């Protein structure tokens, strides 16, 4: 059991009785958008972990974009079966600086992709038009207000638990002159799909697509999407949301930050459930713009999947974390096959760094789609499902999978003088896909991930009562060479290779955050390292970079800077509904990137930054601090949270009153 200690620096008193000073947020009116909502990526997102929908539209046209988590173009890349698709070949091309051959073998060709679903278009009757779209976080239902000759009427939309179809309750006075499905033309590029079957009547509008011709992958699923038209008086039947919303809450004196935080936590409940698929790049809301999703909509394990789950543990969204962990563990056969393929029959398992629903590798920039190190980061992240809700069964399951990954890693390095050095080294996304993306081993990114990995294995082995095994894994920590630091303590990308220009991915700062379980190393100055990254400017940052900066600053206890970066994210890098987009939508100079690809990870990095402002935990000591990084903008204002978790599964509630007085309580998880 982790020790629990109150951090110093605040006026506080323990509350031993039930904590009654904080009321749970209902997360009621999460979104309220006046029509028109002109694009899919500004729509109201609904979901039940398996099926998703976006509601949007203008004038007399209501659009419903329908999606499924398991709807994928599950092909195997043709190069994956070739004899030269191996680690040895990759090492050889890098040593010879043969970029052309490396890209020909490992980059080019068709890959698997998440597939867009379908759009249902409903045309309103004469004299009717859209007025407003709302999302109620308490029930996870959306309201579409329609202006009719008889006044305003509300359509109610929701997903029942486990249902593949969206429910629509249509009030008297709202009519439709047309109901039609509009297909995404991107299917024509893929070929081999049977024509969809469409059925529309008074009770349902259903669209079915069937699996690709010749596909025999066991993860392929037929797609069914559509709506059920419900009678007046019907409503949501979900048993999930009341429990989900009672897990935790925060109360902030900034309404915009409050709403965006609550929206991010809502996306966990809508997007991932135990036994289902975890959130990929766009979750259940794949692009509805006539194109395939950016970056294949994949499971991108060199940042995106990991940041997506940063806020889940503290918020108590354990189902989402377990879906993440179980998804990879269930694909152990495919991970073993990937290991055998690239290491010519080698034992163990490797999580493909960028992968599809069937754990098939999705190829692209070689340094970030082949090396096993990125999948180790995914493993380190999903171990939060055990850390924030420890059970013996999870410890045994995660340890067994970790052993397989440890065996796979043995093929990637050479050992000399007790130091394990990777044959190929990288630091996302330094060097992009040029030959200089390969570095002198080991990069700071890799050192942090590997040290964190063996800390996790030792802890899981201890939890399983395997003292000898725990000692074996602990002995691996610190065997990846000295830290890569300049004389002033600033972390470098690799030895003698400092970051020299603005960069979106703070991969060299992993041991600052999120890999806080890495033992602190002498000579490393976290504050100076973060200052160096930030001091190079934000010109080449993306939206998620600002979320990450907020986490860094909160972790360092610098509340004003954390607040500034999170507010920059909120004002410039989200669409109207709150979805994270990579580019600066205000074009206000925060970033050179002004494009608009939507991915989810920035939302969750933002939420974790807020959590770190309110509550921090030190794995080295088992100590926690209340309100360690509040900004001056909140001086004289009340701030509180209920049931945020720390490792061990303990729940903490606290309130800082306007006069600075802090009260708190702890609910300890039974051993």
Residue 24 has pLDDT above 60, yes or no: no
Tokens of 57: 């539209």
Q: How much is the pLDDT for 184?
A: 87
Residue 221 has pLDDT above 80, yes or no: no
Decide which of 552 and 218 is more confident. 552
In a domain, 545, yes or no: no
Collapsing DSSP to helix, strand or coil, 623 comes out as: strand
pLDDT in tens, 489-533: 999 999 999 999 999 999 999 999 999 999 999 999 999 999 999
Q: Which of 22-31, 172-181, 351-360 has the lowest average pLDDT?
A: 22-31
Residue 635 has pLDDT above 70, yes or no: yes
- Mean pLDDT within 303-316: 98
Residue 234 has pLDDT above 70, yes or no: yes
Greatest Cα-to-Cα distance within the chain, rounded to the nearest angstrom = 83
pLDDT in tens, 237-252: 899 999 999 999 999 9
Structural domain count, the chain:
3
CB 181 within 8 A of CB 198: yes
Residue 181 has pLDDT above 80, yes or no: yes
pLDDT in tens, 314-352: 999 999 999 999 999 999 999 999 999 999 999 999 999
In a domain, 645, yes or no: yes
- Mean pLDDT within 573-594: 97
By percentage, how much of the chain surpasses pLDDT 90?
88
In a domain, 185, yes or no: yes
- Mean pLDDT within 427-437: 93
- Mean pLDDT within 15-32: 50
Which residues have C-beta within 8 Å of that of residue 468, sequence separation ≥ 6?
none
Nearest to 159 by CA among 206, 226, 114: 226
**Do residues 338 and 232 share a domain?**
no
Q: How far lies 536's CA from each of 221, 337, 590, in Å?
A: 47, 42, 13
In a domain, 621, yes or no: no
Residue 305 has pLDDT above 60, yes or no: yes
Q: Residue 9, Cβ neighbours under 10 Å: how many?
A: 12
**Backbone phi, then psi, for 256, in 5-degree steps?**
-70, -40
Residue whose pair of structure tokens reads 């934000």 in the numeric block: 538
Collapsing DSSP to helix, strand or coil, 37 comes out as: strand
The residue from 184, 218, 245 where one domain ends is 245
- Mean pLDDT within 66-84: 90
In a domain, 582, yes or no: no
Q: How much is the pLDDT for 6?
A: 38
- Mean pLDDT within 624-635: 98
Structure confidence at residue 215 as a pLDDT band (50, 70, 90)? low
Residue 419 has pLDDT above 80, yes or no: yes
In a domain, 412, yes or no: yes
Structure confidence at residue 88 as a pLDDT band (50, 70, 90)? very high
Q: How much is the pLDDT for 15?
A: 32
**Do residues 308 and 229 share a domain?**
no
Structure confidence at residue 74 as a pLDDT band (50, 70, 90)? confident
* Spatial distance between the Cα atoms of 548 and 483, rounded to a whole number of angstroms: 22
**Do residues 59 and 20 share a domain?**
no
Structure confidence at residue 11 as a pLDDT band (50, 70, 90)? very low
Residue 1 has pLDDT above 70, yes or no: no
Residue 8 has pLDDT above 80, yes or no: no
Which residues have C-beta within 8 Å of that of residue 311, sequence separation ≥ 6?
264, 265, 268, 317, 604, 605, 607, 608, 611
Q: How much is the pLDDT for 519?
A: 96
Structure confidence at residue 659 as a pLDDT band (50, 70, 90)? very high
Q: How much is the pLDDT for 445?
A: 98
**Do residues 153 and 194 share a domain?**
yes
In a domain, 110, yes or no: no
Residue 129 has pLDDT above 90, yes or no: yes
Nearest to 352 by CA among 340, 542, 344: 340
Q: How much is the pLDDT for 110?
A: 84
Q: How much is the pLDDT for 197?
A: 94
Nearest to 182 by CA among 61, 77, 303: 61
Q: Which of 188-197, 354-363, 442-451 has the lowest average pLDDT?
A: 188-197
Q: How far lies 2's CA from each of 42, 395, 624, 633, in Å?
A: 43, 16, 11, 34
**Do residues 348 and 431 share a domain?**
yes
**Do residues 326 and 401 share a domain?**
yes
For 378, half-sphere exposure in the C-beta direction (CA atoms, 13 angstrom radius) is 30
Q: Residue 179, Cβ neighbours under 10 Å: how many?
A: 14
In a domain, 100, yes or no: no
- Expressed as residue numbers, the domain containing 134 is 29-72+117-245
Q: State the average pLDDT for the chain.
A: 93
**Do residues 9 and 67 share a domain?**
no
- Alpha carbon 650 to chain centroid distance? 23
Q: What is the 3-state secondary structure (H, E, C) of 582-615?
A: CCCCCCCCCCCCCCCCECCHHHHHHHHHHHHHHE
**Do residues 207 and 309 share a domain?**
no
Residue 175 has pLDDT above 90, yes or no: yes
Q: How much is the pLDDT for 12?
A: 30
Structure confidence at residue 189 as a pLDDT band (50, 70, 90)? confident
Residue 547 has pLDDT above 70, yes or no: yes
**Do residues 460 and 351 share a domain?**
yes
Residue 639 has pLDDT above 90, yes or no: yes
**Do residues 381 and 335 share a domain?**
yes
* Spatial distance between the Cα atoms of 415 and 242, rounded to a whole number of angstroms: 53
Residue 220 has pLDDT above 90, yes or no: no
The residue from 179, 210, 245 where one domain ends is 245
Q: How much is the pLDDT for 473?
A: 98
Structure confidence at residue 211 as a pLDDT band (50, 70, 90)? confident
Q: How much is the pLDDT for 620?
A: 94
Q: How much is the pLDDT for 16?
A: 28
Structure confidence at residue 13 as a pLDDT band (50, 70, 90)? very low
**Do residues 366 and 236 share a domain?**
no
Q: How much is the pLDDT for 27?
A: 63
Q: How much is the pLDDT for 28?
A: 72
Structure confidence at residue 603 as a pLDDT band (50, 70, 90)? very high
The CATH number of residue 376's host domain is 1.50.10.10
Q: How much is the pLDDT for 117?
A: 93
**Do residues 166 and 312 share a domain?**
no
Q: How much is the pLDDT for 213?
A: 62
The residue from 245, 261, 290 where one domain ends is 245
């Amino acid at each position: 059991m982790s020790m629990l200690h109150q951090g110093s620096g605040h006026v506080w008193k323990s509350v031993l009785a039930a904590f009654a000073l904080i009321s749970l947020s209902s997360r009621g009116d999460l979104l309220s958008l006046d029509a028109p909502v002109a694009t899919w990526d500004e729509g109201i997102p609904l979901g039940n972990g398996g099926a998703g929908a976006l509601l949007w539209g203008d004038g007399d046209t209501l659009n419903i974009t329908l999606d499924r988590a398991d709807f994928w173009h599950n092909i195997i890349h043709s190069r994956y079966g070739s004899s030269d698709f191996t680690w040895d070949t990759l090492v050889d091309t890098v040593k010879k600086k043969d970029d052309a051959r490396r890209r020909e073998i490992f980059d080019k060709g068709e890959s698997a992709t998440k597939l867009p679903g379908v759009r249902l278009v409903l045309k309103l009757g004469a004299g009717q038009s859209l007025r407003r779209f709302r999302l109620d976080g308490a029930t996870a239902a959306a309201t579409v207000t329609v202006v009719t000759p008889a006044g305003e009427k509300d359509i109610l939309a929701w997903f029942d638990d486990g249902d593949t179809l969206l429910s629509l309750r249509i009030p008297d006075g709202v009519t439709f002159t047309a109901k039609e499905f509009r297909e995404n033309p991107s299917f024509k590029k893929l070929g081999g799909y049977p024509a969809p079957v469409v059925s529309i009547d008074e009770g349902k509008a259903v669209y079915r697509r069937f699996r690709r011709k010749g596909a025999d992958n066991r993860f392929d699923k037929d797609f069914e999407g559509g709506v059920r038209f419900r009678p007046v008086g019907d409503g949501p039947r979900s048993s999930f949301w009341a429990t989900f919303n009672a897990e935790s809450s925060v109360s902030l004196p900034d309404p915009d930050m409050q709403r965006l935080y609550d929206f991010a936590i809502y996306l966990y409940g809508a997007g991932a459930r135990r036994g289902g698929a975890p959130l990929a790049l766009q979750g259940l809301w794949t692009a509805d713009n006539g194109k395939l999703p950016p970056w294949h909509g994949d499971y991108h394990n060199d940042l995106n999947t990991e940041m997506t789950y940063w806020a889940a543990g503290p918020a108590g969204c354990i189902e989402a974390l377990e879906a993440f962990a179980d998804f990879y563990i269930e694909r152990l056969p495919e991970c073993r096959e990937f290991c055998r393929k690239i290491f010519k029959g080698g034992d163990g398992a490797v999580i493909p760094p960028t992968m599809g629903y069937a754990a098939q590798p999705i190829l692209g920039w070689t340094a970030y789609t082949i090396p096993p190190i990125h999948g180790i980061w995914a493993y380190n992240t999903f171990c939060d499902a055990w850390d924030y809700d420890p059970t013996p069964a999870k410890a045994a399951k995660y340890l067994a999978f970790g052993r397989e990954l440890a065996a796979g890693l043995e093929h990637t390095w050479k050992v000399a003088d007790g130091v394990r050095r990777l044959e190929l080294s990288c630091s996302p996304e330094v060097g992009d896909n040029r030959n200089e993306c390969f570095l002198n081993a080991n990069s700071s990114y890799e050192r942090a991930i590997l040290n964190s990995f063996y800390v996790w294995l030792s802890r899981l082995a201890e939890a399983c009562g395997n003292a000898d095994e725990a000692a074996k894994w602990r002995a691996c920590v610190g065997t990846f060479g000295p830290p890569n630091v300049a004389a002033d303590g600033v972390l470098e990308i690799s030895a003698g290779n400092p970051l020299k220009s603005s960069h979106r991915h703070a991969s060299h700062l992993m041991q600052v955050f999120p890999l806080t379980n890495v033992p602190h190393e002498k000579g490393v100055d976290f504050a100076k390292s973060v200052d160096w990254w930030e001091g190079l400017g934000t010109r080449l940052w993306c939206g998620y970079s600002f979320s990450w900066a907020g986490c860094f600053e909160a972790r360092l206890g610098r509340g004003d800077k954390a607040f500034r970066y999170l507010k920059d994210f909120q004002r410039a890098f989200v669409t109207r509904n709150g979805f994270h987009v990579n580019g600066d939508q205000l074009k206000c100079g925060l970033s050179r990137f002004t494009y608009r690809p939507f991915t989810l990870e920035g939302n969750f990095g933002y939420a974790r930054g807020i959590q770190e402002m309110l509550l921090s935990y030190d794995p080295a000591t088992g100590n926690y601090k209340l309100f360690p990084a509040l900004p001056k903008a909140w001086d004289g204002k009340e701030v509180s949270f209920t049931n945020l978790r720390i490792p061990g599964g303990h729940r903490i509630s606290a309130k800082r009153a306007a006069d600075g007085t802090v009260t708190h309580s702890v609910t300890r998880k039974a051993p």
